[in-house]
Amino acid sequence: MAVEAAQLMEKLTALARRRGFIFQSSELYGGINGAWDYGPLGVELKRNVKAAWWQQVVTDREDVVGLDSSILMHPLVWKASGHVQNFADPMVDCKKCKKRYRVDEIEPEYETTGKVPTQCPDAKCKGELTGARKFNLMFETHLGPVADSAAKTFLRPETAQGIFVNFQNVVNSTRIKVPFGIAQIGKSFRNEINPRNFTFRSREFEQMELEFFCKPGSDDDWFKYWVEERKKWYAGLGIKMDRLRFREHEKEKLSHYSKATTDVEYLFPFGWGELEGIANRTDFDLRAHQIGMRSVGKWRGEELQDFKLVDEDPEHQSGKLSYFDDEEKRRYIPYVIEPSAGADRATLAFLCDAYDEDEAGGEVRFVLRLHPRLAPVKVAVLPLVKKDGMPERARPLYDALKKRFAAVYDDSAAIGKRYRRQDEIGTPFCVTIDGDTLKDGTVTLRERDSMKQQRISEESVVAFVDERIYGMR
Ligand code: GAP
């Protein structure tokens, strides 16, 4: 049953709160904008999203390794990467209602025309806007007790730079050779001007980023390859393909470091939104850090904005971030293909995609049709009644399942009500222990989507669930 887009977000946020998927951060204190807490079910769902990403990008491959770099980094990293100078959104303030807007959000043609609107977009206000000002999105912090500029650094706004500055460490400590990738999942922070649409635009969020290093000249092929791989990932996790699109950026609108970019977008109830950007970043980042690292001894903690990076070796033949290719017997700076996805946005997309309502027994049934690999609980064990030896039979089965999967045991309320509880949180399988179990060792296995029930032997439940979750990959 199709749920109206206008109501879907409201229903989903209510469900997320009611059943413990996502809460507002610091709710007890009135909440803070742009930060979210994942509750008992939400944390499982997001872990499953991240695990599925890691599985595709790292575990299933021979040519990608993982990394977990720190959030706090040397301030020069952010100067060399260009974030100090360029990681800023143009914004305007309304002089009357004091609201702040991102210019590109209220004037979609801003990037091409440079035109800045003059009147508040709020129809009730229509006040005069200030001129556009750049607002850097990085959160500043200070290392150590002295809060002067020498101690200033930033919370990372992307995990990618932690990968670039570890390129040499990974090459030296493993036997991996170009082409290869380094993958990382972790928190990033951006002081977004207008956090909104639930978790979609937050100030603290998690990224799943892969930097895939390849020989210059092979980059176009690797770019196409990764776009296809990422398409397979979303499709494999059951996302509705008519709500997913791959949008190529026009050449004129590419960021300064990018040769090609394709955004993966999902049709949320509030419109199309970016889940992931796949970019051909050329050798921009490794080159930038070759220059940046030479400036370390020269930087005395003055304002980074004014500091000039020193480039004494424009050919980059001696730098630590160039790569010696054994086969070609030459040194070069690898090109980078970067599929960069948001864990929170993917989680939100899977939730929106899964939300459904249908009718069962004359009542509306709320159901999350999550792919079994993503479902926070895989299987629920339900003794029909709390007596007649059923709990004694159900417990060992639950214990066996729990060793392998996220499982719950529920013996309260009528069986129909217990099924509904599981449907609403997306549990793909329910196993009911009833009178026949005691006689012939079979249980009822009920599937969430079709609500079909079948009897299978108690001993085969673990293998059945395993096959249905992981056999589907
Ligand atoms: N290293 C490249 C990079 O960070 P990005 O397009 O700025 O590229 C990548 O970010 C992904 O991170 C986005 O596609 C999105 O999924 C996620 N992301 C970015 N900003 C976000 C925010 N404010 N809230 C939630 N997710 C965000």
Which CATH number covers residue 304?
3.30.930.10
Structure-derived torsion over alpha carbons of residues 431, 436, 442, 444, reported in degrees to the nearest 10? -30
Distance, CA 313 to ligand 1 centroid (Å)?
A: 33
Residue 471: exposure state from Cβ atoms within 10 A (0-12, 13-18, ≥19): exposed
Same domain assignment for residues 272 and 401? no
> Are 306 and 180 members of one domain?
yes
Question: Residue 450: which CATH number?
Answer: 3.40.50.800
The total number of structural domains that make up the chain = 2
Nearest 10 degrees: Cα torsion 202, 241, 1, 49: -40
> Could you tell me if 385 and 305 lie in one domain?
no
Q: Which of 309, 331, 349 is the last residue of a domain?
A: 349
Q: Is there a domain that residue 458 lies in?
A: yes
d(CA 119, CA 125): 9
Residues 6+ apart with CB under 8 A from 290: 313, 316, 319, 320, 321, 322, 333
If asked whether residues 57 and 197 sit together in one domain, one would say yes
Instruction: Tell the residue nearest (CA) to atom 26 of ligand 1.
Output: 342
Low-confidence ranges of the chain (pLDDT < 70): 1-2, 312-319, 472-473
Contacts of 229 (CB under 8 A, 6+ apart): 56, 339
How confident is the model at residue 1, as a pLDDT?
A: 67
Q: Of 309, 332, 349, which residue is a domain's last?
A: 349
Average pLDDT, the chain: 94
Q: Is residue 32 part of a domain?
A: yes
pLDDT at residue 473, as a whole number: 45
Binding pocket residue ranges, ligand 1, CB within 6 Å: 158, 160, 190, 192, 201-202, 205, 207, 209, 274-277, 338, 340-342, 344-345
- What pLDDT does 321 receive? 85
Rounded distance between C-alpha atoms, residue 461 and residue 464, angstroms: 5
Structural domain of residue 403, as residue ranges? 377-470
Considering only CA atoms, give the Rg of the chain: 26
CA angle 367, 267, 255 (to 5 degrees): 140
* pLDDT tens per residue across span 336-392: 999 999 999 999 999 999 999 998 778 899 999 999 999 999 999 999 999 999 999
Examine residue 91 and state whether it is found in any structural domain, yes or no: no
Rounded to whole angstroms, what are the CA distances from 151 to 17, 308, 425? 40, 18, 46
Buried b (16+ CB within 10 A) or exposed e, 35-53: bbebbebbebbbbbbbebb
Whether residues 208 and 291 share a domain: the answer is yes
Which stretches within 237-374 are classed as H helix?
Answer: 284-294, 343-354
8 Å CB contact between 90 and 132:
yes
Are residue 185 and residue 290 in the same domain, yes or no? yes
* Residues 345 and 391 both lie in one domain: no
Q: Is the same domain home to 326 and 383?
A: no
| Residue 271 and residue 177 share a domain | yes
List the residue whose alpha carbon is closest to atom 4 of ligand 1. 158
Number of the ligand 1 atom closest to the C-alpha atom of 274: 14
Let me know whether 272 and 383 are in one domain.
no
Please state the atom number of ligand 1 nearest to the C-alpha of residue 279. 2
Would residue 14 count as lying in a domain?
yes
